[in-house]
A and B are shown apart, each in its own frame.
Chain A
Amino acid sequence: MNRKTLMLAAAAAALSLGLSACGADSSKTSTGASTGSGSAGTTTIASKLIMGGPPEFKTRPDGLPGLKKNYGVVFGKYTVTDTGGPVTVSSLKNGQIDAADLFTTDPSIQANGFVILEDPKSNFAAQNIVPIISKAKATDGVKKILNGIQAKLTTDGLGQLLTKVQNQKQDPDAVAKQWLSDNGLSGTGSSASGVKLTVGSANFPENVILADIYAEALKAQGASIKTTLNIGSREKYYAGLKDGSIDLFAEYTGTILQFIDKNATATSPDDVYAALVKALPSNLIALDKAQAQDSDAIVVTKATADKYSLKTIADLAKTG
């Protein structure tokens, strides 16, 4: 490299720096509103806390913008950790963050005694578990068996099943069978005989357990079952549901509704379910929604919850 090229490079560097100093300033419009914490002059509980979660939580409609809109909650700071994974959990446990975005069925919530803050205004859309089944295969017998399962699924119960599979490394199929017999659903019979079904699941443990529960219950009632587990993301398996290569899938009301109808606005469990029933294509139907939900939630440690007496997300906007 000779002196001329060096000079040229230096000039280019200086020029680009100079240019970047005179571009349009976006911070004035985007942050002006968020700099004031809560109402005039007072400090809210949230403004003393650091929130942690996935990067998109900063921009997602039900993330920081939603918390501000629905509850007037503006955190002091936001740290990007990961999407409901080990980094978020250990950061919350060790006090690098005070509040985290986790999933309600995450076994680490029970294991660490974290407190889920209630969401009375449904900032996070309901995510009740719902079996999506192809109309042709949904005989009365099949519907009765699956709705029987749905009636017994709870968020806590699902969390315990996940603990067995994720933390104790038990076989999901065995855990599914155990759950069915514990809940008196393992009776054999012939109410589903003659039905041929392919049960699919996404590639995360909870969905695999649910698919196993459906599959085992139907098998016990005489159905001929094929399972294709761990298919992958919704983009991949939804096509299979639509064209009939998969007949039954455990879904979450909020996300599947959002997937089918990008403009869906429903957030409460019943509204979301009603909208989903309407939005599904004609060859698919949704059976009963379970009480169990796997949705995003704002989670704090027991110590933080006690210190500020937090029960709901709205409590974060109080002064303290």
Chain B
Amino acid sequence: MIGEVFTWLNDPGHWKDTRFDTGIATQLTAHVRFCAFALLVALIIALPLGLVIGHTGRGRWLIAAANTLRALPTVGVLVLLTVVIAPHFYGRTDTGYLIPTEIVLIVLAIPSILSNTFAGVENVDPAVRDAAEGMGMTGKQVLLKVELPCSLPLIFSGFRSATLQVIATATIASYLPLGGLGRFIYDGLAQQDFPQMIGGGVLVAGLALVADLLLYLVQRYTVSRGLTGRFSKKRIPDARLASVTQAEVAAV
């Protein structure tokens, strides 16, 4: 079976579009597009909200409310929204199916980004915050120059888990007549073409891993080294070390 899955993935005919079948390349792009749009919108909504709630301490109930969104059954909401929205769109358009899908994915992504951003800002060391205020920084400066950089590791972990969830869940777009990698999973099951079904699953998992790796790289180069304690070993200034020892020697 593993061999058949590999053969299926390895077949260039499956990567190209044909008359009745959409190839892996196109579906992969479609999948990435669904996910990227949903994550971007979720980030635009949840990041500022989380920063403000964490900074002011007001509106905490919103965090709890957002977390209850996690309990929504995604497929149920998708079908409900489709029944309500899809009949309003006529002609050669899949907007009527695209809107419910994106709403569902955005709702899925918001809670983890929002609650992690909030927790990140909330948990900044009070001494650091006091020091910033003591230096005469305004509230806005404290938030953007101190609290935001300090909470970046938690914000990233929230965004990364949202990304994984969205990439995995975007397969339900294929429950409606939309593309995406879910197409292979649904169609493979219906056609009893199991290599295709598992191949689709492998592609989703692969995409999730690659996305997480990319976000890890972004995180690595954006989070302050003062927080991670990750200093380059090569650039330890030998001269300074030497001068310290010399000073010590002199003192003695």
Contacts and interface: CB of A to CB of B under 8 A. Distances in A.
Looking at chain B's contact residues, is the secondary structure mostly helix, strand, loop, or mixed?
A: helix
Most buried by A among B20, B91, B192: B20
B210 to A, nearest CB: 7
Interface stretch (B6-14, B141-149, B160-168): B6-14
A58 B20 contact: yes
A293 interface: no
A216 B175 CA distance: 39
Contact of A80 (B9, B13, B82, B186): B186
Interface in A1-47: 1, 6, 9, 13, 19-28, 30-31, 34-35
Interface stretch (B68-76, B92-100, B103-111, B118-126): B92-100
A96 B92 contact: yes
Given A13-B210, A20-B10, A27-B12, A54 B90 contact: no
A81 interface: yes
B92 A26 contact: no
B172 to A, nearest CB: 13
Contacts of B94: 96
Interface in A30-81: 30-31, 34-35, 50, 52, 54-56, 58-59, 64, 74-75, 77-81
Contacts of A59: 191, 193
Nearest to B96: A94
Interface in A77-129: 77-81, 86-87, 90-91, 93-97
B14 A26 contact: yes
B101 to A, nearest CB: 13
Contact of A25 (B9, B13, B177, B213): B13
Contacts of B10: 19-20, 23-24
Interface string B184-212: 00110111110000000000000000100
B5 to A, nearest CB: 12
B87 A94 contact: yes
Given A55-B187, A64-B20, A94-B89, 14 more contacts: A9-B213, A22-B12, A23-B11, A23-B12, A24-B11, A24-B12, A31-B13, A31-B19, A34-B18, A80-B183, A86-B83, A87-B176, A94-B86, A96-B91
